[in-house]
Amino acid sequence: MPLSTIKDISLAYGLNFYSIDKPLRDVLRFYIGREPDLYSIGAFSGTDIYEAAYRVDQLSKPALITWSIKGDRVDTVWLDSFERIIIEKLILDYGANRFPFNGGSWHEHFASINLIGDPGVGCILTISIQTAYTLYKYGGDPIRGYYRNLSGFSKPLMIGATWFTEIQGGSDLGANTTIADRVNGVWRLNGYKYFASGAGLADIALVTARSPGAPKGAKGISLFAVPRLRSDGKLNFYVRRLKVKSGTVSVPTGEVELIDSDGYIIGEPSKGIYYALESLMVSRLSNSHGAIGISRKAYFEALLYALERKAFGKRLVDHLLVQRDLLEMESLIEAGLILVHKATKEFEESKNDTPPYTSTYHYARLLTHIAKNITAEIASRVTQLAMELFGGVGFLSEYPVERWHREALITPIWEGTSNIQALDMLEVIAKKGAHETLISDMREKAKETIDPEVSRRALKAIEETISSLAFKDPSLIEYEAKDTLDTLGYAISVILLENLASHIGERRYSNIAKVILDRMIDKKPIPRLKQSDIIEIIGIGTITI
């Protein structure tokens, strides 16, 4: 008998998640003009990554090692060895974190995060590339060079981290109390970071702190790079404990104490909040791509089950309501997919921007806030429906489909909650005028369409939503912020799907645009497409139904 895998408990195990995901490949071609070769990551993702992340969740949590055998305080985390090998392979062999630095694009990096799907493993890559990006762009000597190890150009592989949240508040970074003092030309940090992903793994972390005399609130925040070890080889920060979490088990999240920790200032001290927010763009985009990856895995588990399981004498997939559920799931996934690649495209175009930034960066920020919320909602909904399609089996924690729903539930929380994204979206509209770029871009995109009426209605929804902000009471605008974000997000997706349909000559994307328009914007029932169109969409054009 071959050595065992999880193929007996997972239907999606063994799929190549890239070759089977035609929409992902179409969207990548649309945005970068070619189809990147992610087939080997796709195969890895459907086999070893899939199995390792499930194994860690069920059997093999990370463990904190506080003291070495020699009696030294070490504060490292022991990862499951299968997971450790996977992370090394992803960064060093597959180069998943190298794309943005070697002439590739952020689309390829984030498509890899989508394929990995797992938010724990994905988080370890994300905190590393986020740190690499910030050091590469704003870091000085001696810390800039770390970006090479963090993104897999040089060995040894290093892991990064971004520690901003403190016990009194994660949303309100202006409430940070960690102090950075400059003593004899060296910055020393003292404080306590309450949610610190990568604790015990990180070789270097980005840390927010304020220096004495800095203004109150977010404007007084500076950003520092804090290596794990001081120049004398002693620990530079301490891991107090690891959190016990309901998902994302494959990334350790801990509490970190900074006690006279050596820090290296990033850029200008007064611009720390801008650098922190810019690094959050990377993780928010990553979260969005990862959310679509989670949804995709849950979708395949459910679709394959629906193709086999029979009820009332026929396969689940032959029941109309099951087709409707799968159509809703697939349409949401593709709406989120195209939206977050659009946000990525604008981020890519603004990657050389620095504070105070251009309108392209503000537009990228607007789209990122929107994509973060929409994709998180999608992941929660799609994984919930996937569990439901499995019936009672879906609720059992012994099979992978249940895990996808637990994993999905982190996506609206970390990297800034949904409420915070909605408020930040309002801020970038009101203070930076990002809606002007949005409207002119969408007007342009709506011209290239298969079904002009669908694009026209979506554009109208965007224009009316934005213009209503001008005369509403501010408290009502705040109260409705998440609804505003939803309308804008889904309407943008509709226009982009129509645009894609017309660009590559495939009506299926126009059909999906219609589903999203009716269901998510006009709040009507899901439209009854032609049976052959439904079959094509739910089989995503690759699986025979």
The answer to whether 279 contacts ligand FAD (rule: CB under 6 A) is no
Stretch that binds ligand FAD, among 56-64, 320-328, 378-386, 407-415 (CB under 6 A): 407-415
Among 54, 136, 164, 224, binds ligand FAD (CB under 6 A): 164
| H-run or E-run covering 160 | none
Task: Kindly report the length of the chain.
Answer: 545
Among 45, 97, 105, 253, binds ligand FAD (CB under 6 A): 253
User: Are the beta carbons of 316 and 304 closer than 8 angstroms?
Assistant: no
At residue 416, φ and ψ (nearest 5 deg) are: 95, 125
Q: With CA atoms as reference, report the closest residue to 197 among 67, 291, 287, 68.
A: 287
- Site mask for ligand FAD (CB under 6 A), range 45-64, x = bound: --------------------
169 versus 391: smaller Cβ distance to ligand FAD: 169
Among 192, 361, 414, 490, binds ligand FAD (CB under 6 A): 414
221 versus 446: smaller Cβ distance to ligand FAD: 221
| Residue found by looking up tokens 């796709």 in the block | 42
Among 248, 287, 465, 511, binds ligand FAD (CB under 6 A): 248
Beta bridge partner(s), residue 238? 257
Instruction: Look at strands 186-197 and 204-209 and give their pairing.
Output: unpaired
The answer to whether 421 contacts ligand FAD (rule: CB under 6 A) is no
The answer to whether 391 contacts ligand FAD (rule: CB under 6 A) is no
| H-run or E-run covering 262 | strand 253-265
The answer to whether 416 contacts ligand FAD (rule: CB under 6 A) is yes
Number of residues this chain uses to bind ligand FAD (CB under 6 A) = 22
Among 23, 170, 200, 272, binds ligand FAD (CB under 6 A): 170
**DSSP letter for each residue of 172-215:** -GGG---EEEEETTEEEEEEEEEEEETTTT-SEEEEEEB-TTPP
196 versus 370: smaller Cβ distance to ligand FAD: 196
Q: Is the peptide bond before 356 cis (omega within 30 degrees of 0)?
A: yes
Q: With CA atoms as reference, report the closest residue to 30 among 241, 328, 307, 339.
A: 339
Q: How far is CA 181 from CA 163, 166, 269, in A?
A: 18, 18, 12
Q: With CA atoms as reference, report the closest residue to 196 among 244, 229, 238, 164.
A: 164
Q: With CA atoms as reference, report the closest residue to 465 among 446, 447, 485.
A: 485
**DSSP letter for each residue of 311-365:** ETTEEGGGSHHHHHHHHHHHHHHHHHHHHHHHHHHHHHHTTT--TT--HHHHHHH
194 versus 299: smaller Cβ distance to ligand FAD: 194
170 versus 191: smaller Cβ distance to ligand FAD: 170
218 versus 538: smaller Cβ distance to ligand FAD: 218
Stretch that binds ligand FAD, among 5-13, 168-176, 324-332, 345-353 (CB under 6 A): 168-176
Residues 75-114 that bind ligand FAD (CB under 6 A): none
Among 13, 163, 237, 299, binds ligand FAD (CB under 6 A): 163
* Least separation in angstroms between CB 268 and ligand FAD: 21
The answer to whether 195 contacts ligand FAD (rule: CB under 6 A) is yes
The answer to whether 162 contacts ligand FAD (rule: CB under 6 A) is yes
The answer to whether 419 contacts ligand FAD (rule: CB under 6 A) is yes
The answer to whether 197 contacts ligand FAD (rule: CB under 6 A) is yes
Nearest residue to ligand FAD, by Cβ distance, number only: 170
Residues 360-389 that bind ligand FAD (CB under 6 A): none
The answer to whether 18 contacts ligand FAD (rule: CB under 6 A) is no
Q: Which amino acid appears at position 225 of this protein?
A: A
User: Are the beta carbons of 366 and 373 closer than 8 angstroms?
Assistant: no
Stretch that binds ligand FAD, among 163-171, 221-229, 313-321, 328-336 (CB under 6 A): 163-171
274 versus 299: smaller Cβ distance to ligand FAD: 274
User: Are the beta carbons of 543 and 25 closer than 8 angstroms?
Assistant: no
Which pair of tokens denotes residue 51?
């199995």
Instruction: Look at strands 204-209 and 162-163 and give their pairing.
Output: parallel
Q: What is the largest CA-CA distance in the chain?
A: 80
State whether residue 217 is helix, strand or coil. coil
* Least separation in angstroms between CB 222 and ligand FAD: 15
The answer to whether 484 contacts ligand FAD (rule: CB under 6 A) is no
CA separation for the pair 337, 289 (Å, rounded): 7
106 versus 164: smaller Cβ distance to ligand FAD: 164
101 versus 194: smaller Cβ distance to ligand FAD: 194
Site of interaction with ligand FAD (CB under 6 A)? 162-165, 169-172, 195-197, 245, 248, 253, 410, 413-414, 416-417, 419-420, 423
